[in-house]
Chain A
Amino acid sequence: MFPWVYGFAWTTGNVIFLGIFFFIVAIIGTTLVVSIFRTVRAYKLHDIEAFRWEVDFHDLPPQLRTCRHEFTGEFKQRSCDNGFDCRSCATQNKLIRHHSVNTDAIELPIHAYGFTIPTDRLYHRGHTWVQGDSFGIYTIGLDDFATRLIGTFDGFVFPEIGSQVQMNGNAWIVKKGGMDLRILSPLDGEVVATNDGSDGWYLKIRPTTAKVDTKHLLREHEVAVWFQREFERLQHRLSDSKIGYTLADGGIPVQDFVKAYPERNWDAILGDVFLEA
């Protein structure tokens, strides 16, 4: 194998064969070392929460990555490839410029499909809402869909007061039936208060930047359609697979879906709703 090993000869065949072999070994070794080096560098420099979201988002099924412009009727079918971050979406402005928003067909409901959708706040695709006040503090809560879905909680894990939360990063953990549900933060900011939801909110944050960009959050006319789709998907997941699709007969959603359908695969359903891969 090497010139100093017994039996080695400087023949053309030997040189070509071993040359190719060592070249291949060098490629494999170098690639592996480069990936380890890049891991260490990324680990030091990268924002791990953003990294985790990027990976999670990439692994989500396509139907969970629907672009918000589908909700407005601008597109029949379009998937988001930008982690639901419309702020850095290159095509966002172009889309708005070229496709007028079809708001005529959509009323601005307070109640839709049995869910309450307050119009004084903005909504994140991970089923949180956010509402700013005159002091620059933003309150974060779970929307009605998520609240009814989870029902009663077993516990919470909140970030410490003064710690930072990042958009699409972990805001707090909800414990329910042995599951840990990661709730995504709709904004970047410093945690100033936490609450168990008894007053309708869970977290208050002071945004990292003075001017808060909320372009990535859904407005009420989008939320109604989004809720409809989420509810239809939920109904399908809860329906008896032997029966298949059934015609809805009215009524309002129950207060605790998990409790009402204990035998369903909630790990999967809640993973879809809270965008966890």
Chain B
Amino acid sequence: MDRQFIQRGVTRISMKKFLVWIMPWIVILMIGVYAAFLCLYQGLNQTNMDNRFAFGLWIYLDLTVIALGAGAFFTGFLLYILKRKELKAVINSAVVIGFICYSGAVGVLMVDVGQPIRSWFTFWHPNINSMLTEVTFCFTCYLIVLAIEYVPVILKNRKIKQFSSMLVFEHELHKLIVVFAGVGTFLSFFHQGSLGGLYGVLVGRPFAFRPALGIWPTTFFLFILSAAAVGPSFILLTTWIVSKISGKQLVKQEIMQSLGKISGNLLIFYVLLKTVDTIVWINSTSPSLGFSAATFYRQEEFGTWIMFTEIVLCGLVPALILLNNKLRSRTGWLITASVMACSGIVLNRFVMTIQTLALPTLPFDQFLSYTPSWQEVATFLAVIAYGVLVYSFSYRYLTLFPQERELQSM
């Protein structure tokens, strides 16, 4: 019944099957919206966060999706600025994923801040000494950029492009997309960095505090690099998942390998810098603040295994796999390495957010444990459901993978 809206030359499941697929996600989204409403209406007492544990599941989610969504800016940068033309095959999907990640993060922040009606305060009365101000400004601008980049993808819909004005606007907007790609790269660079810098400046938290390079702590640079490294891996992974669910080849194998190689190159560089940063922290930064680094790993929950897993198992190992031509050419290894790389960054954001706050830093402090309330979990899951829904509709009605038609006709 919606055939006229679906890209020519590709096949999609029937409307009935599609409705069956989206229904559970709509239910999850609805429950999450109700939970968010409770938080906004009754206050943040609906959560298990408090003044001591002020960053919880939501901020962790924000940091994670922002890192994974970096594929949008980095793929755009490689395609439009560095002219890596082969990435045209995944740029639309990357833009949609970026839009989902950033809009989801902004949505959760609205609930987390608890006063969305006063969100304009941060712009009207900016505290330029706060990393969060930079994050807020860059987030907002970049979300607008992503929305603009999403517009040509929507206007290319088979039905919409029949309207001449839409077709011309899409064409003219696309011609200037390089400007948005450049602006997006600039904004992403700073807000990814500022998110990392946010932890690096916490002098009262020796576990997270890092020395400054110029005006920024080293976490500023590590967050940028880690996001850029894992972005292509996440694009690769989502493409593979969509391909498996739909049962279709969406991009050529060499594109997947190219994404893997880009990710591998950046990841090995990141692991190198992260290792140097960790060594400096263990031997200099932490002791200078009166703490032996070993004290932070005495808690059973957060032993040294977590550092090993983050840097070696989910950093060095996937980087080496992705840099090996033979292993990279095998889908199993490629996907395994991508999953490991993404997991490494997810773990890194967990460590920086949750572990930092859980560890005691004063003599009378206790190790804090925090379990999110059902409202927090439901809101978290609602963002996932929102992402799945937006992506599902986009995949069904828009051209996310331009090579799909060619590959299906072969």
Which residues of A does B touch, CB under 8 Å? 1, 5-7, 11, 13-14, 17-18, 21, 24-25, 27-28, 31-32, 34-36, 38-39, 42-43, 46, 48, 51-52, 54-55, 59, 61-63, 233, 237, 265, 267-268, 271-272, 276-277
Interface centre among B3, B8, B125 (most CB of A within 10 A): B8
**Given known contacts A21-B137, A27-B179, A28-B183, A51 and B171 CB-to-CB distance under 8 angstroms:** yes
Instruction: Determine whether B294 belongs to the interface, using a CB cutoff of 8 Å to chain A.
Output: no
From 396 to 410 in chain B, residues with beta carbon under 8 angstroms from any chain A beta carbon are: 399, 402, 405-406, 408-409
**Given known contacts A1-B123, A25-B141, A277-B8, A43 and B168 CB-to-CB distance under 8 angstroms:** yes
From A14, A17, A36, A267, contact of B134 by CB (8 A): A17
**Given known contacts A31-B179, A34-B176, A35-B172, A52 and B167 CB-to-CB distance under 8 angstroms:** yes
Could you tell me if A5 and B124 are in contact, using CB atoms closer than 8 angstroms?
yes
From A59, A63, A265, A268, contact of B402 by CB (8 A): A59
Residue of A nearest to B162 (CB): A52
Could you tell me if B172 and A28 are in contact, using CB atoms closer than 8 angstroms?
no
Interface centre among B9, B128, B408 (most CB of A within 10 A): B9
Could you tell me if A267 and B3 are in contact, using CB atoms closer than 8 angstroms?
yes
Instruction: Determine whether B51 belongs to the interface, using a CB cutoff of 8 Å to chain A.
Output: no
From A7, A42, A271, contact of B172 by CB (8 A): A42
Collect the chain B residues with CB atoms within 8 Å of residue A277's CB: 8
A18–B170 CA distance with the chains assembled, in angstroms: 31
CB distance from A177 to the nearest CB of B (A): 11
Could you tell me if A48 and B176 are in contact, using CB atoms closer than 8 angstroms?
no
**Given known contacts A1-B123, A24-B141, A51-B171, A61 and B406 CB-to-CB distance under 8 angstroms:** yes
A25–B145 CA distance with the chains assembled, in angstroms: 10
Q: Could you name 6 residue pairs across A and B whose Cβ atoms are closer than 8 Å?
A: A5-B124, A7-B125, A28-B180, A31-B179, A36-B172, A55-B167
Say whether chain A's binding surface is mostly helix, strand, loop, or mixed.
Answer: helix
Collect the chain A residues with CB atoms within 8 Å of residue B176's CB: 31, 34-35
Number of B residues, CB within 8 Å of A: 42
Could you tell me if A39 and B172 are in contact, using CB atoms closer than 8 angstroms?
yes
Instruction: Determine whether B18 belongs to the interface, using a CB cutoff of 8 Å to chain A.
Output: no
Could you tell me if A268 and B124 are in contact, using CB atoms closer than 8 angstroms?
no
CB distance from B316 to the nearest CB of A (A): 36
Could you tell me if A28 and B144 are in contact, using CB atoms closer than 8 angstroms?
yes
CB distance from B214 to the nearest CB of A (A): 14
CB distance from A126 to the nearest CB of B (A): 15
Instruction: Determine whether B15 belongs to the interface, using a CB cutoff of 8 Å to chain A.
Output: no
Could you tell me if B145 and A61 are in contact, using CB atoms closer than 8 angstroms?
no
**Given known contacts A28-B183, A31-B179, A48 and B173 CB-to-CB distance under 8 angstroms:** no
Instruction: Determine whether B347 belongs to the interface, using a CB cutoff of 8 Å to chain A.
Output: no
Could you tell me if A43 and B165 are in contact, using CB atoms closer than 8 angstroms?
yes
Collect the chain B residues with CB atoms within 8 Å of residue A36's CB: 169, 172
Instruction: Determine whether B230 belongs to the interface, using a CB cutoff of 8 Å to chain A.
Output: no
A35–B151 CA distance with the chains assembled, in angstroms: 12
Collect the chain A residues with CB atoms within 8 Å of residue B144's CB: 28
Instruction: Determine whether B307 belongs to the interface, using a CB cutoff of 8 Å to chain A.
Output: no
Could you tell me if B129 and A42 are in contact, using CB atoms closer than 8 angstroms?
no
Collect the chain A residues with CB atoms within 8 Å of residue B148's CB: 28, 32
Collect the chain A residues with CB atoms within 8 Å of residue B9's CB: 61, 267-268, 271-272
Could you tell me if A39 and B402 are in contact, using CB atoms closer than 8 angstroms?
no
Instruction: Determine whether B250 belongs to the interface, using a CB cutoff of 8 Å to chain A.
Output: no
A220–B123 CA distance with the chains assembled, in angstroms: 68
**Given known contacts A5-B125, A7-B125, A39-B165, A31 and B8 CB-to-CB distance under 8 angstroms:** no
Instruction: Determine whether B10 belongs to the interface, using a CB cutoff of 8 Å to chain A.
Output: yes
B142-173 vs A, CB cutoff 8 Å, 1 = contact: the mask equals: 00110010000000100001001101111111
A99–B126 CA distance with the chains assembled, in angstroms: 68
Collect the chain B residues with CB atoms within 8 Å of residue A25's CB: 141
Residue of B nearest to A51 (CB): B168
CB distance from A229 to the nearest CB of B (A): 13
Could you tell me if A43 and B164 are in contact, using CB atoms closer than 8 angstroms?
yes
Pairs of residues from A and B, 7 with the lowest C-beta to C-beta distance, nearest first = A61-B406, A271-B8, A268-B9, A17-B128, A39-B169, A38-B172, A35-B173
Residue of B nearest to A12 (CB): B128
Could you tell me if B126 and A28 are in contact, using CB atoms closer than 8 angstroms?
no
Interface centre among B124, B129, B171 (most CB of A within 10 A): B171
**Given known contacts A24-B183, A43-B164, A268-B408, A35 and B169 CB-to-CB distance under 8 angstroms:** yes
A158–B285 CA distance with the chains assembled, in angstroms: 79
Could you tell me if A61 and B141 are in contact, using CB atoms closer than 8 angstroms?
no
CB distance from A78 to the nearest CB of B (A): 17
Instruction: Determine whether B275 belongs to the interface, using a CB cutoff of 8 Å to chain A.
Output: no
Instruction: Determine whether B370 belongs to the interface, using a CB cutoff of 8 Å to chain A.
Output: no
A225–B104 CA distance with the chains assembled, in angstroms: 53
